[in-house]
Amino acid sequence: MTNRIGLFKKSWILGVAILLLQGCGSTKTLVSAEKASIIAKIDLINVVDDKVNVVLDPAAFATDTVSFFIPKTVPGTYSDDNYGKYIEQFKAIDYKGGELKVEKLDDNTWRIINAKDLDKINYWVNDTYDTEVEVSEPVFSPSGTNILKGKNFMLNLHGFVGYFDGLEEIPYSLEISAPDGLEPVTSLVKGIQDVNRPDTDVFVANRYFEVIDNPIMYSSPSTETFQVNDIAVTLSVYSPNGHFTAASLKAGMEKMMRGQKAFLGDINSTKHYTIILYLSNMDDEDAKGFGALEHHTSTVVVMPEQISKERLEEAIFDTVAHEFFHIVTPLTIHSNEIQYFDFNDPKMSMHLWMYEGTTEYFANLFQIQQGLISEEDFYQRLMEKVERSKTYDDSMSFTVMSKNILEEPYKKNYANVYEKGALINMALDIDLRELSGGEKGVLWLMKELSKKYGDSKPFEDDGLIDEIVAMTYPEIGEFFNVHVIGDTPIDYDAYWKKVGLSTTEQEQSTGYFFDGEIPYIDVDPANDNAIFVREGIQLNSFFNDLGAQGGDIIKSVDGKMTNLVNIRLLIGQSMNWDPDKEIVMVVQRGYKEITLKGKVGVPTLKVVNLVPIEGPSEQQKNLREAWLKG
């Protein structure tokens, strides 16, 4: 997945403020549950109180009890989300239409008693998008669900369809009835349509994993298709106010994906790919977790609708590039932990440095190698990653963090997989190029690994690094031991030197509360709209000189209570502040209230630039060339 922390996380809120067919009934006792497919019926027509009815019809069980699960977590999210919390009025129905006894074991598990009599189960599903503001750790929108009667249904199917214990590997037939005018977009394979039920779409999946690996969006379609070599790409856009269409985004998307395919070369890839883009209108009941989640043949991307085309394109191209590269890892190259993913008791792999790190690194590297961005842009992206990585624990073993990512303190360092994770790969790439005389890099390594492992051939989690070392050089083993398994921070300056680059510091002018359109402060809807200083970003001199820290809640400024209205006024007034103006800001840090005082000064932001050195050696020039040109 990608989480657009740097660009959008929460920051937007303030930004907007300002600116298969199987019979049922009597014959079914002849077919055992292990042998027949499960029919899942989803009714998108008769939405009641913002909820959707789901009926699951398995064949006959031979056991006295059976457990039914909705996933606690799904691949690619690396978080416990308990999708079972959104299920209501769960009923197990016997063949005579009566109700069987059900025990609820936890948020995601229902045990059905007298399972031999079970005909079907029936429940109602609530969506996650309209509860995001109410819960402290909302489901990340690209893996969430949306029920907007008559307009949009985001069917991340793990939120709607569950599985019976032991039946994860049997096929599913999904029968989805939808209102007129709403069309499905998905990579899921269509089944045989019942001519008597024209409003019901039938989809088939070989196993439960395939159900959840193929989200479906129902909306009034804005869809375009294009071909990238042998891949047929479908781009579908839901834009509630009609600001964007698939047609308006197609050309840029096509250009980017062509670049990706050229970068990957002969690496195995899918024959079709679906990009499902959901644009949120940002009201209380809409999605706010911007980013995307990867699947084998599709991705769901969620972004705000109220942004300029230029900014949306920049965000979606980077995001889709990242998700598409996930085809390499973890979708192709992955460990047992991911192959045999337990949706309710997941075991984490130690290789997020690769699943997310390599993916994010490639999403940037291909752009310089394919001439889509300038060297200057590429260096700036790297320095932003260096700066942001320092806002996390730089002395935390990446493999230990990965293995324990569902728990603190590892969990709060997760987003560093996009920052330091990418930089680990950059260092590895430069080392590999240096040791191989420019021949081999991380892309070569991934191609070699993809020849050994694949879709249904996982690697052993604790053997991968030894295997990489055996394929490459002892120095690579040293790098992993010290900087990936070990907890020693990477000396980036040493890597810049190898490729003839160096850093220069510069003070750049900025606003008091905004750097361009990116705010230093934000609003927390989950905490009574408290105004806080953003975390995980570099603050300007105004906040630094006052002694403010990321996460501080601004209680008052110059004696005036801070709220959304007052902060807008203050931001307006700050445009005319005299540098000698004295300011008193009371902030809450943890349980303490702290008074910060000082002159507002002239706000500046320290920017570290990465630039080529004068007169690089032949070796430095050649290594940089090999790195950037591939």
Nearest to 126 by CA among 50, 214, 231: 50
Q: Which is nearer to Zn ion, 276 or 553 (CB)?
A: 276
Contact 358, 450 (CB under 8 A): no
As measured in angstroms, the least distance from the Cβ of 507 to Zn ion is 34
Among 1, 212, 320, 354, binds Zn ion (CB under 5 A): 1
Q: Which is nearer to Zn ion, 1 or 275 (CB)?
A: 1
Q: State yes or no: residue 87 binds Zn ion (CB under 5 A).
A: no
As measured in angstroms, the least distance from the Cβ of 27 to Zn ion is 46
Could you tell me how many residues of this chain bind Zn ion (CB under 5 A)? Answer: 2
As measured in angstroms, the least distance from the Cβ of 5 to Zn ion is 12
How far separated are the first and last CA of the chain, in Å rounded? 25
Q: Which is nearer to Zn ion, 1 or 13 (CB)?
A: 1
Q: Which is nearer to Zn ion, 77 or 404 (CB)?
A: 77
Q: What is the DSSP letter of 459?
A: B
As measured in angstroms, the least distance from the Cβ of 489 to Zn ion is 23
Over 575-592, what HEC string results? CCCCCCCEEEEEEEECCE
Q: Which is nearer to Zn ion, 120 or 420 (CB)?
A: 420
As measured in angstroms, the least distance from the Cβ of 318 to Zn ion is 11
As measured in angstroms, the least distance from the Cβ of 328 to Zn ion is 11
CA 378 to chain centre: 22
Q: Which is nearer to Zn ion, 222 or 319 (CB)?
A: 319
Task: Name the segment binding Zn ion (CB under 5 A); options: 1-9, 240-248, 280-288, 338-346.
Answer: 1-9
- The phi and psi torsions of 47 (rounded to 5 degrees) equal -80, 130
As measured in angstroms, the least distance from the Cβ of 349 to Zn ion is 14
* Residue nearest Zn ion (C-beta atom): 1
What character string, x for contact with Zn ion (CB under 5 A) and - otherwise, covers 497-536?
Answer: ----------------------------------------
Q: What is the DSSP string of 123-184?
A: EEEE-SGGGTTTSSSPPPGGGS-EEETTTEEEE-GGGT--EETT-TTS-EEEEEE--TT-EE
As measured in angstroms, the least distance from the Cβ of 334 to Zn ion is 13
Residue 198, preceding peptide bond in cis (omega within 30° of 0): no
Contact 74, 82 (CB under 8 A): no
Nearest to 391 by CA among 355, 352, 420: 420
Q: Which is nearer to Zn ion, 1 or 264 (CB)?
A: 1
Q: Which is nearer to Zn ion, 80 or 117 (CB)?
A: 80
As measured in angstroms, the least distance from the Cβ of 505 to Zn ion is 31
How buried is residue 406: exposed, middle or buried, by Cβ count under 10 Å (0-12/13-18/19+)? Answer: middle
- R_g (Cα) of the chain, nearest Å: 26
Q: Which is nearer to Zn ion, 344 or 359 (CB)?
A: 359
How buried is residue 361: exposed, middle or buried, by Cβ count under 10 Å (0-12/13-18/19+)? Answer: buried
Q: Which is nearer to Zn ion, 175 or 356 (CB)?
A: 356
Residues paired with residue 59 on neighbouring β-strands, in sequence order = none
CA 496 to chain centre: 30
Instruction: Show contacts with Zn ion in window 331-370 (CB under 5 A).
Output: 356
Structure-block tokens of residue 21? 């067919």
As measured in angstroms, the least distance from the Cβ of 158 to Zn ion is 17
Ramachandran quadrant class, 496 (left: phi over 0; alpha: psi -120 to 50; beta: rest): alpha
Q: Which is nearer to Zn ion, 297 or 540 (CB)?
A: 297
Dist CA 1 CA 79 (whole Å): 11
> Residue 71 is inside which H or E element, if any?
none
Nearest to 233 by CA among 256, 263, 213: 256
As measured in angstroms, the least distance from the Cβ of 9 to Zn ion is 15
Contact 179, 47 (CB under 8 A): no
Contact 250, 235 (CB under 8 A): yes
Question: CA torsion angle for 474, 479, 482, 483 (degrees, to 10)?
Answer: -160
Q: Under the rule (CB under 5 A), what is the footprint of Zn ion?
A: 1, 356
